[in-house]
Amino acid sequence: MNRDSNKHTYIFAVLMVLSVAFVLSFTSESLKDLQNANVKKEKMQNILSSVGINVSRDESEDLYMDYISEELSLKSDGTIDDDIEAFDINLALEVKKDSDTQRFPLYIANVENEKFYVIPLRGAGLWAEIWGYIALKEDINTIKGVSFDHKSETAGLGAEITEDWFIDSFTDEKINDSQGNFVGVYLTKSNNDPRNEDKMDNEVDAISGATITGDGVSDMIIERVQNYLPYFNNISNE
């Protein structure tokens, strides 16, 4: 056998590629259900953690059923589109559409007789996407809690947005200014409030060394939450 002949080279390359393709597609197909279940449970876990319920990923499915009372998909004018399952909306694809054709998922949680509106967030960090959930109390102004996650922010810097000390700083912040206009929550380096005692200033302390990730968090809160204002206006006028 001459292993440097053209024939051998072609046959080897074809066999090698075919066997690799077979192994990979077989593994991918057989593990798909487990992987999707993990992703789904994690989504439920994140939604729950934004309303202050921290559970392990395995328990999240049962508790999600207990606490999340409604899943709505909203049109840009604030009306509800009954044809689309809110939980199945893939925000990564949805944010690329025009805001007129997007559907905005909204989760309504009932925890110990308190009602919370949970809005999914998605935006850009420094290296790749960041996403999360923001839970608003019934006044549609005060933040109950948030949860953030990211694809590949810098460990120790931007990746800190998932840490409790950062997430906790959002609790009880307002998304409206004192006149009641929607302004979101800004991450700033100069809010003169390092202990975050002022909950009316629409500001939390930014993370040193993670300016771009922080700006991404501020932007995504404004950009996503403003889409829900028509719906919130509708329900407050009822």
Partner 1 sequence: MSKDIEPLFSKKNRALLTDPLDDDNPITVQVLGICSALAITVKLEPAVVMTVSVIFVMAAGNVIVSILRNVIPTRIRIIVQLLVVATLVALVDQFLKAYAYDVSKQLAIFIGLIITNCIIMGRFEAFALGNGVWKSFLDGVGNAAGYGWILIVVAFIRELFGAGELWGIPVIPQFIYDLGYQDNGLMLLSPMALIVVGLYIWIQRYYNRKLIEKD
CB neighbours of 160 closer than 8 A, spacing ≥ 6?
166, 207, 210
Residue 191 and residue 205: Cα distance in Å, rounded?
7
Instruction: With contacts defined by CB under 8 A, name the span among 29-37, 47-55, 68-76, 95-103 that binds partner 1.
Output: 29-37
Examine residue 209 and tell whether it contacts partner 1 (CB under 8 A): yes
**Using CB under 8 A as the criterion, what x/- string covers residues 68-87 for binding partner 1?**
--------------------
Q: Does 38 bind partner 1 (CB under 8 A)?
A: yes
Q: Does 31 bind partner 1 (CB under 8 A)?
A: yes
Residue 204: strand pairing partners: 187
The packing angle between helices 60-67 and 6-50, to 10°, is: 40
Tell me the two tokens of residue 56: 């392990």
Q: Residue from 54, 79, 178, 208 that binds partner 1 (CB under 8 A)?
A: 208
Does position 17 interact with partner 1 (CB under 8 A)? The reply is yes
Binding residues among 41-70 for partner 1 as defined by CB under 8 A = 42, 57
d(CA 174, CA 154): 28
Asked if residue 178 binds partner 1 (CB under 8 A), the reply is: no
Compute the least distance from the CB of residue 224 to partner 1, in Å: 22
> Which range, of 88-96, 112-120, 131-139, 151-159, touches partner 1 by CB under 8 A?
151-159
**129/29 Cα distance (integer angstroms):** 26
Residues 186 and 169: beta-carbon distance below 8 Å = no
Q: Exposed, middle or buried: residue 150 (CB in 10 Å: 0-12, 13-18, 19+)?
A: buried
Element containing residue 147 per DSSP (H, E): strand 143-150
Residues 91-150 that bind partner 1 (CB under 8 A): none
**Total of chain residues touching partner 1, rule CB under 8 A:** 28
Span of 8-16, 86-94, 170-178, 220-228 interacting with partner 1 by CB under 8 A = 8-16
DSSP 3-state of 12: helix
Q: Which residues bind partner 1 (CB under 8 A)?
A: 1, 3-4, 8-9, 12-13, 16-17, 20, 23-24, 27-28, 31, 34-35, 38, 42, 57, 151-152, 154-157, 208-209
